[in-house]
Amino acid sequence: MDHSSSSPLIIQFPVNLNCASATTPNEQSENHNGKTKIINEMDFFADKKELEVGGSAIHDSTNNSIVDFNVNTGLHLLTTANTNTGSDQSIVDDGVSTNSNEKRSKNEKQLAVLQAELERMNSENGHLREMLNQMGNNFNSLQMHMQTLMQQTDQNRASEEEHKTSDGLMEPRQFMDLGLSSSAKTGEASLSSSEGRNELDHSSAADKDVGGGEDGQGPENQVPKLAQSLKSVDQDTEATMRKARVSVRARSEAPMITDGCQWRKYGQKMAKGNPCPRAYYRCTMAAGCPVRKQVQRCAEDKTILNTTYEGNHNHPLPPAAMAMVSTTSSAAKMLLSGSMPSVDNLMNSNFLAQTMLPCSSSMATISASTPFPTVTLDLTQSSNPFQFPRQPNQFPIPIPFPDAPTVGNSSAVALLPQIFGQALCNQSKFSGIQMSHDMDQGVHQLSPTLPPMHRGQLSDTVNALANDPNFTAALAAAISSLIGGSYPNNGDNNTNDVVDTTSNNDESGTTSNNNSNDNHKRSSSRFQVN
DNA sequence: CGTGTTTGACCCGCGC
DNA sequence: GCGCGGGTCAAACACG
């Protein structure tokens, strides 16, 4: 009796995790008139911690017995519990029976019940912890986005002024500032080769000349350094995240998959060991956006298009794209969390793959071997031995996708809802906060008929994809948008554009088949280095 | 004319 | 120090 009353206390926790509001309050109110809501949660973790660490100390007198049990979870505690709680139990038993055997049996029963409760509690606790971690990740991502947006708002003002004074400095400044203040300096510095070089130069010059839109307020270098020291942690994370890459392999006749962003080709190079040239694209949705992608066909199977995304968008994107980007950030964070390129990465990678694409976990592989941790999505499932030859640390998993040399539309399309659905569903776990918020907005903007759930948006995408004659490209685009950071359309239009833009790829053969309204942006970006 | 692509040159990191 | 390869720049070119 007393035990049963004590156990329910602990089980109230599920409350906070899922929408902190809906279901639980009632239960809680029933149990304790709201007295224990938060306290329970806190106590729960506290108990758990103590259990893990010392396994001894307990605060609440009421919970003592329970905690002791918990500590012992094993066998011995039961006996100790008996001895310790003997008095308490005696109180209960007094009225019932005097027989010691009966007492024992009763105690054992109670203990069993308690153990069951404890197990429940433990499992719940674990679940809660997971949720807490997820929430933490979500919070970080959200914070990042907010920071970006806020900075951009300020940036727009500053950039306008700067634009008046000096054209050449505008873009670099914007780049630096928009690039997530934290990541700006270090991140760009770490960026490969000439661009980072140029931008650093410009940034320094801009800091001197302009005095800085944000971090440049202080004189000279001290302020940035201070900011660096203050945000060092974020810097590292962001810088590393920027290095993280998301690679998508898909069969497509199109020269490039459409992922909802606008790209400008800035270079093409013959890569060693591959007769097919590698094309370099830069995001042009905003001046100074550090996001780049490389597109290259597989040497052995030229129908396979390998698209690699790198970096995080530093500009506001359409809500849907934002959600995707947040997912990318989360994914990158997940990928990069823990120890970076070490064995731990394997764990994270595997987890990432399974988390993001559980049912299609087969499609996701993570490489920790390359300089940059890479998430690879393979949509080809070809018999091609060249598929993942070079990266020993990857986790190639058999793909549920039908092996589709020419991509059988019907069968593959049939799988789409499941794949995407689960992918998104799990993405929501990844960055559930942003997903729910952003996607809601996005859905409303994109199509009022869609339910305010990302799944709805997803299904819409799936439908659009299903209708796409060039299914492979569309599929790749959608997947890449899921992982690569943008929604497979510009977000300004209906999701139907998924089909349109994708099909456009077949013809245009080049990058920005998207909006024409970005021309000025692109032109401005050209002056970036000047 | 504006915009986007092409492509040779350049820079940098890395290995030898 | 040198060569190689990857990545980027930017003038030249193409296109609507």
Q: Give residue-wise pLDDT tens across range A348-368.
A: 334 433 334 333 333 556 555
> Positive or negative CA dihedral for A439, A129, A59, A116?
positive
CA angle A195, A201, A205 (to 5 degrees): 140
C1' (B5) to CA (A361) span, angstroms: 37
Q: From residues 14-43 of A, which are strand C contacts by CB within 7 A? A: none
- Chain B positions within 7 A of any protein Cβ atom are 2-13
Question: Would you say residue A309 has pLDDT above 70?
Answer: yes
Dihedral through CA A477, CA A479, CA A481, CA A483, nearest 10?
Answer: -150
Determine the Cα–Cα distance for residues A423 and A357; give it in Å rounded to an integer: 5
Nucleic strand B under 7 Å from the C-beta of A268: yes
Nucleic strand B under 7 Å from the C-beta of A520: yes
Task: Give me the pLDDT at residue A450, please.
Answer: 33
CA angle A509, A292, A260 (to 5 degrees): 60
Identify the residue whose Cα has the smallest distance to the C1' of C7: A193
Determine the Cα–Cα distance for residues A28 and A26; give it in Å rounded to an integer: 5
pTM exceeds cut of 0.85: no
First to last CA, chain A: 79
Amino acid, single-letter form, for residue A405: P
Determine the Cα–Cα distance for residues A220 and A215; give it in Å rounded to an integer: 10
C1' (C10) to CA (A285) span, angstroms: 21
Task: Give the residue carrying structure tokens 């940036």.
Answer: A155
Query: Which of A153, A483, A158, A453 shows the shortest CA–CA distance to A326?
Result: A483
Q: Which one is predicted more confidently, A330 or A411?
A: A330
Query: Which of A409, A338, A400, A349 shows the shortest CA–CA distance to A373?
Result: A349
Nucleic strand B under 7 Å from the C-beta of A303: no
Determine the Cα–Cα distance for residues A201 and A506; give it in Å rounded to an integer: 39
Task: Give me the pLDDT at residue A438, please.
Answer: 35
The set of residues, in sequence order, having a beta carbon less than 8 Å from that of A493 and lying 6+ positions away, is: A446
Task: Give me the pLDDT at residue A236, please.
Answer: 52
Q: Give residue-wise pLDDT tens across range A28-82.
A: 333 444 333 333 333 333 333 333 333 333 343 334 433 333 333 333 333 333 3
Nucleic strand C under 7 Å from the C-beta of A189: no
- Chain C positions within 7 A of any protein Cβ atom are 4-10
Task: Give me the pLDDT at residue A364, please.
Answer: 57
| Phi/psi at A152 (5° precision) | -70, -35
Q: Which one is predicted more confidently, A270 or A463?
A: A270
Determine the Cα–Cα distance for residues A58 and A50; give it in Å rounded to an integer: 8
Scanning A381-496, the segments in alpha helix (DSSP H) are 409-430, 432-434, 440-446, 454-467, 471-484
**Nearest nucleotide (CA of A311 to C1'):** C7
**Nearest nucleotide (CA of A526 to C1'):** C10
User: A330 is written with which tokens?
Assistant: 């989360």
In this prediction, residue A274 has a pLDDT band, given cuts at 50, 70 and 90, of confident
Nucleic strand B under 7 Å from the C-beta of A157: no
Mean pLDDT value across residues A6-20: 32
